[in-house]
């Protein structure tokens, strides 16, 4: 008779039996950062040498992927992180953070509250879109054309009454962030099969949407495709999303604390932007 | 008789009367990000134009401070963010995140759990050190020498049985991150009175510590001084700390999920680093 | 051509189009608590009348289920909540809370950090076990015996290399909480088909485990069966789990703050219990 | 020269030197719950014996205070927990939880997000009111009358432009929960000097408020006074607040998920209660 595998003990005790490594007293391992007296090595690089030589974006890549990115991948990494940094006052994650801020909570509590609002319907599209594109690419590897593969995976989603991950937007009929990211990938010669796949899906969607609202690739889709092409796995792309929006959430929490009265009732539909209107970046930045 | 100001209603209802702006139906205001169809302006700059032109670090500064940083301040901003990015597996915030990760929780939940561990004793030193240095600088403005002001504020802390914020370290007798940040501030000509003040405190501490353990400036102190000199207020410096450690916490949570068995018991003293040992940054980065 | 359903806008904007209710300006609805001047109605009952007449456990049931429980169901509700209240210092959720507490964070932050550790492997068994038992009961309704249904659903789990939800424990070969909850359900005449089903599974497990370690019903399984029999849906049972462990997490966070030094390294395997050893409840409580 | 006490290492490393207990390898201690094979002792009582004999409210008291409460204190404990259980959809903590729920997050994440909104202005009054009443009682012990002590501590608050903790309410001119809790304390003969003190403050407030809005004792004030009289310290009263509102937050999160579309924009002012209107508790509960 087969041995029984039980999902055994509840509440923290369960599966503890699994944790013992052979030998019992072996140490557990981590490959991220080595701490010694007067020395901090991140993935092997002295942290003080990284300061001034690697940007924060490149260091994030190093920490998550294990190596310093090439200049092209480093540029795309920065662009991906910048593209997500904020989307105004209406995302529910931002509103959760503002509602926490209005109670007088510490900034870290507001940020934690905001992060927890990255749920299934909010930010989850990058990972799903990567799996979606991969399912198309598998068909291509089996001999299908990109166009046929795209049509097949779109059909499958629609047949299951699912939305197409990475497509469509409430505010934007053309997502300016997606367009810019594809342009950068092209210029940096980092385009690959994932971008080709999403372009094929875009054409299928465009044909189908002739009589309806436009269904543009959104920034989730663009990031999914570009991350796929530069070798970032879905779980790391998901981590990038969480990391990239933290500054936006922190900025909203701080603005809530500084500009508004405590314990106010926050109606997301009732606000107005009063910052500087469209301006040009300083010349040296172009 | 004076009107009574009450801290009135409990549990969310309190102070609601204060929220009504004159006119009652006025909209509330935000100056961070403007969202229009096919247009996203962060502090006035089109987000798609920022991509490829501003780094993530510069964009964080823009979002929190309202303007694009100068090249020197941009470099210091990147260095500050990089300096905090991780400190191995033993900080309690990282352990909170790993304990959450071992239960099979989502990455965002692990990161939130970790952030909440930035408490009074953990990361709170930057803000306190900024106030500490400012109290010394006030004495300088009133005619005291830097050395006398430093001695006075150190004495006051010790008389109150308080630790000196920004000084001392468990592992490091010389914090390599602090040394590097001061060097960068010097090279970028961004040094000012806050760095001068902390140098004076360092000398006072060094005299006092002759018979005891060394009391070096730590990275909290270095960041406090540099942020003070480039005009970053304490609350923004605190936000930078939260933002900068998120990648480290996310990386530990991901490593916990990928390398270790679920529901294991995590002993912080029982681990070993098994990543690459000290290596040199790629040449082009120097 | 069929209309395209898109999972459209990312990051909080998506699906907003769906939210507009017909008419657009209709108010949104809540059936939990009505607030009027000097009046608070929870599910219709004045909160001040509930005080002294309903226990906290009965009020939790009222809030989640909409009605005051019968005396039998009220007693089971209290027992379920009490059974989960704490399980010592080793559950990862408790350790996350203690790691947060050692940084000097606020109690609410420690509790939030702990709650986030109720993940897939920790506390998730109640909901899965309810679905597991329901799948067996469906076979019973289709003519199968309890014993055959139990064997079939156990086989299916094992064939999928899944653990049997609600069975097995690291520390306990007989979970005293589960035994007591079944006894109470029997005495209160609240036993039904879910308890019958889990008893059948227990017999199948016992037969199979003859050569291996014992595979007792654990408290997750017992709660799943009892909740099923008294009409509590899986999602509410999941909420009960979260609610019931909060006092335990809060107590550990408070003890960490009161008894231990800040910023200590917490080894879950290195502690000892120093409270009162086994004692009898005051007589009037029996 | 005095030894220097440094607030040393930043980011988790700080103060680690303090943690070593004498001997170094001593185990750390916990007095909450003892786990042995087939035995769980909460403060010394077998958990399975507590089930059916102690209510959840009594068990919470046991866990936090170390002993089984007397019947009178047990009843007050239940009433305190019930009084806080929910206050409708407008508290910012509840709105943070609903905003997290609308993203499709797990229930535990919604509850954590809500808890984090118990900040300085929201729920913090119980602890402050306890300290406020204690400062009055100190004057009484020094020979002052209750009335004079009340007048003095009110004056001090007003002079510092601070609100009087435990007084006033946005919705209620007479807080029905506070009235009921005082009545129970009276009937259960648990009234003491803290209730006497808050009554004296109430009279001072009432005299002062003749020309202004009424300034009733609110539920925070009532709980502060009653907890003071039954020997619950401020930090435990704060823990009770966190514990008591968790069911309300969980219920709102569940309702958000079940009744509303995902990713909706939640306006706190735009809702209506559609549950049962005022009804009487079942007869046997009176």
Nearest to B103 among C110, C117, C266 (CB): C117
The answer to whether B54 and B68 are in contact (CB under 8 A) is: yes
pLDDT at C14 over 50: no
Mean pLDDT of D25-53: 95
- Could you tell me which residues come within 8 angstroms of residue B94 by beta carbon, excluding any fewer than 6 positions away? B87, B88, B114, B117, B248, B249, B252, D12
Lowest mean pLDDT among A115-119, B73-77, B272-276: A115-119
Distance separating alpha carbons of residues C17 and C25, to the nearest angstrom? 14
Contact (CB<8Å) B105/C116 = yes
pLDDT at A42 over 90: yes
pLDDT at B12 over 80: no
Buried b (16+ CB within 10 A) or exposed e, A116-138: bbbbebbbbbbbbbbebbbebbe
Distance separating alpha carbons of residues D129 and D151, to the nearest angstrom? 15
Q: How many angstroms from the chain centroid is the CA of residue B74?
A: 16
Distance separating alpha carbons of residues C56 and C85, to the nearest angstrom? 14
Nearest to A266 by CA among A51, A77, A100, A87: A100
And the tokens for B108?
Answer: 């965002």
Mutual angle of helices C219-229 and C176-187, in 10-degree steps: 20
3-class state of residue A274 by DSSP: coil
Contact (CB<8Å) B7/D87 = no
Is C222 part of the contact surface with chain D (CB cutoff 8 Å)?
no
Is C211 part of the contact surface with chain D (CB cutoff 8 Å)?
no
Torsion of CA B225, B226, B227, B230, to 10 degrees: 120
And the tokens for B247?
Answer: 């990648």
Q: B168 or A81, which is more confident?
A: A81
The whole-number pLDDT of residue A284 equals: 65
Nearest to A153 by CA among A166, A136, A134, A130: A136
* Burial bucket for residue B29 (CB in 10 Å: 0-12, 13-18, 19+): middle
pLDDT at B19 over 90: no
Q: What number of helices (H) and strands (E) belong to chain C?
A: 12, 5
Mean pLDDT of C186-197: 97
Among chain A residues, CA nearest to D112: A113
* pLDDT band, residue A103 (cuts 50/70/90): very high
Among chain B residues, CA nearest to A275: B31
Lowest mean pLDDT among C134-138, C148-152, D121-125: D121-125
Distance separating alpha carbons of residues A216 and B175, to the nearest angstrom? 50
The whole-number pLDDT of residue D4 equals: 43
User: What share of chain D in percent tops pLDDT 70?
Assistant: 90
pLDDT digits (tens, 9 = 90+) for A57-73: 999 999 999 999 999 99
Contact (CB<8Å) D104/A90 = no
HSE, CB side, 13 Å, CA atoms: give it for residue C98.
27
Nearest to C96 among B106, B113, B121 (CB): B113
Question: What is the nearest CA distance from D205 to chain C, expressed in angstroms?
Answer: 19
3-class state of residue C247 by DSSP: helix
The whole-number pLDDT of residue C25 equals: 62
Among chain D residues, CA nearest to B92: D12
Q: How many angstroms from the chain centroid is the CA of residue B38?
A: 34
3-state secondary structure A18-78: HHCCCCCCCCEEECCEEEECCEEEECCEEHHHHECCECHHHHHHHHHHCCCCCHHHHHHHH
Is B268 part of the contact surface with chain A (CB cutoff 8 Å)?
no
Nearest to A122 among D118, D121, D263 (CB): D263
Contact (CB<8Å) B15/D125 = no
Cα distances from C1 to residues A210, A212, C4, in angstroms, run: 10, 11, 9
* pLDDT band, residue A15 (cuts 50/70/90): very low
For D146-203, the DSSP string reads HHHHHHHHHHHHHHTT---TTB--SS-SS-HHHHHHHHHHHHTT---HHHHHHHHHHH
Mean pLDDT of A251-259: 97
Is D165 part of the contact surface with chain A (CB cutoff 8 Å)?
no
Contact (CB<8Å) D268/A270 = no
User: What share of chain D in percent tops pLDDT 90?
Assistant: 79
Cα distances from A89 to residues A116, A254, B44, in angstroms, run: 16, 13, 15
Is C207 part of the contact surface with chain A (CB cutoff 8 Å)?
no
Mean pLDDT of D268-285: 90
Would you mind telling me the total number of residues written for chain C in this entry? 286
* pLDDT band, residue C208 (cuts 50/70/90): confident
Phi, psi of A155 (to 5 degrees): -55, -45
Nearest to C279 by CA among D64, D62, D30: D62
Q: Which of A111-120, D135-144, D163-172 has the highest mean pLDDT?
A: D135-144
Q: A170 or A190, which is more confident?
A: A190
3-class state of residue A95 by DSSP: helix
* pLDDT band, residue A55 (cuts 50/70/90): very high
Nearest to D282 by CA among B256, B129, C58: C58
The whole-number pLDDT of residue C6 equals: 40
The whole-number pLDDT of residue D5 equals: 43
The whole-number pLDDT of residue D3 equals: 42
- Could you tell me which residues come within 8 angstroms of residue A103 by beta carbon, excluding any fewer than 6 positions away? A262, A263, B12, D92, D93, D117, D118, D119, D120, D121, D122, D123
- CA torsion sign, B119 to B120 to B124 to B125? negative
Query: Whole-model pTM?
Result: 0.91
Instruction: Choose from B1, B2, B12, B242 for mutation: most chain D CBs within 10 A.
Output: B12
* pLDDT band, residue D20 (cuts 50/70/90): very low
Contact (CB<8Å) C8/A109 = no
Distance separating alpha carbons of residues A73 and A76, to the nearest angstrom? 5
pLDDT digits (tens, 9 = 90+) for B251-260: 999 999 999 9
User: What share of chain B in percent tops pLDDT 70?
Assistant: 90
Phi, psi of B213 (to 5 degrees): -70, 155
pLDDT digits (tens, 9 = 90+) for B22-39: 345 689 999 999 999 999
And the tokens for D272?
Answer: 């209506």
Phi, psi of D245 (to 5 degrees): -90, -10
Distance separating alpha carbons of residues C82 and C85, to the nearest angstrom? 5
First to last CA, chain D: 70
pLDDT digits (tens, 9 = 90+) for A135-149: 999 999 999 999 999
pLDDT digits (tens, 9 = 90+) for A74-99: 999 999 999 999 999 999 999 999 99
Rg, C-alpha atoms of chain D:
23
User: What share of chain C in percent tops pLDDT 90?
Assistant: 79
Distance separating alpha carbons of residues A21 and A25, to the nearest angstrom? 8
Question: What is the nearest CA distance from D256 to chain C, expressed in angstroms?
Answer: 9
Nearest to A118 by CA among B113, D109, B102, D115: D109
Distance separating alpha carbons of residues D75 and D85, to the nearest angstrom? 16
Residues 79-108 of C with CB under 8 A from B: 90, 92-93, 95-97, 99-100, 102-106
3-class state of residue D36 by DSSP: strand
Nearest to C116 among B112, B263, B265 (CB): B112
Is C267 part of the contact surface with chain B (CB cutoff 8 Å)?
yes
Distance separating alpha carbons of residues C240 and D245, to the nearest angstrom? 13
The whole-number pLDDT of residue C2 equals: 43
Question: What is the nearest CA distance from D141 to chain A, expressed in angstroms?
Answer: 34
Mean pLDDT of D56-63: 98
Chain A hits for B244, CB-CB cut-off 8 Å, are 56
Distance separating alpha carbons of residues B56 and A85, to the nearest angstrom? 8
Q: How many angstroms from the chain centroid is the CA of residue D7?
A: 32
Q: What number of helices (H) and strands (E) belong to chain A?
A: 12, 5
Lowest mean pLDDT among B197-206, D145-154, D169-178: D169-178
And the tokens for B237?
Answer: 């410096």
Distance separating alpha carbons of residues B180 and B169, to the nearest angstrom? 16
And the tokens for B244?
Answer: 């900068």
Mean pLDDT of chain B: 89
Question: What is the nearest CA distance from C53 to chain A, expressed in angstroms?
Answer: 32
pLDDT digits (tens, 9 = 90+) for A178-230: 999 999 999 999 999 999 999 999 999 998 877 777 788 999 999 999 999 99
pLDDT digits (tens, 9 = 90+) for B209-254: 777 777 889 999 999 999 999 999 999 999 999 999 999 999 999 9
Distance separating alpha carbons of residues A194 and D230, to the nearest angstrom? 67
- ∠ at Cα B280 (B278, B281), nearest 5°? 125
pLDDT digits (tens, 9 = 90+) for C73-84: 999 999 999 999
pLDDT digits (tens, 9 = 90+) for C241-263: 999 999 999 999 999 999 999 99
The whole-number pLDDT of residue A169 equals: 82
Size of interface A-B (CB pairs under 8 A): 395
The whole-number pLDDT of residue B2 equals: 43
* pLDDT band, residue C230 (cuts 50/70/90): very high
Cβ atoms within 10 Å of A285's Cβ, excluding its own: 16
Mean pLDDT of D124-151: 96
């Amino acid at each position: 008779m087969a041995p029984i595998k039980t999902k055994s003990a509840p509440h923290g005790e369960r599966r503890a039996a699994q944790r013992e490594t052979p030998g019992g007293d072996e140490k557990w391992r981590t490959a991220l950062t080595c701490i010694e007296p007067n020395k901090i090595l991140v993935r092997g690089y002295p942290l003080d040498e990284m300061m001034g030589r690697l940007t924060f974006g490149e260091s994030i890549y190093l920490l998550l992927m294990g190596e310093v990115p090439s200049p092209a991948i480093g540029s795309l990494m920065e662009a991906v992180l910048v593209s997500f940094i904020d989307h105004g006052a209406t995302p529910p994650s931002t509103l959760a953070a503002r509602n926490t801020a209005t109670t007088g909570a510490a900034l870290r509590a507001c940020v934690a509250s905001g992060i927890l609002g990255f749920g299934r319907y909010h930010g989850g599209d990058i990972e799903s879109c990567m799996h979606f594109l991969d399912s198309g690419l598998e068909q291509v590897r089996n001999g299908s054309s990109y166009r046929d593969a795209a049509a097949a995976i779109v059909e499958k989603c629609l047949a299951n009454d699912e939305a197409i991950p990475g497509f469509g937007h409430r505010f934007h009929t053309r997502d300016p962030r997606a367009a810019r990211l594809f342009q950068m990938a092209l210029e940096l010669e980092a385009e690959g099969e994932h971008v080709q796949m999403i372009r094929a899906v875009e054409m299928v969607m465009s044909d189908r949407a002739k009589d309806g609202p436009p269904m543009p690739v959104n920034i989730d889709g663009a990031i999914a495709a570009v991350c796929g092409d530069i070798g970032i796995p879905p779980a790391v792309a998901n981590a990038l999303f969480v990391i990239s929006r933290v500054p936006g959430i922190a900025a909203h929490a701080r603005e809530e604390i500084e500009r508004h009265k405590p314990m106010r009732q926050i109606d997301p539909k009732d606000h107005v932007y009063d910052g500087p209107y469209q301006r040009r970046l300083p010349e040296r930045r172009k």
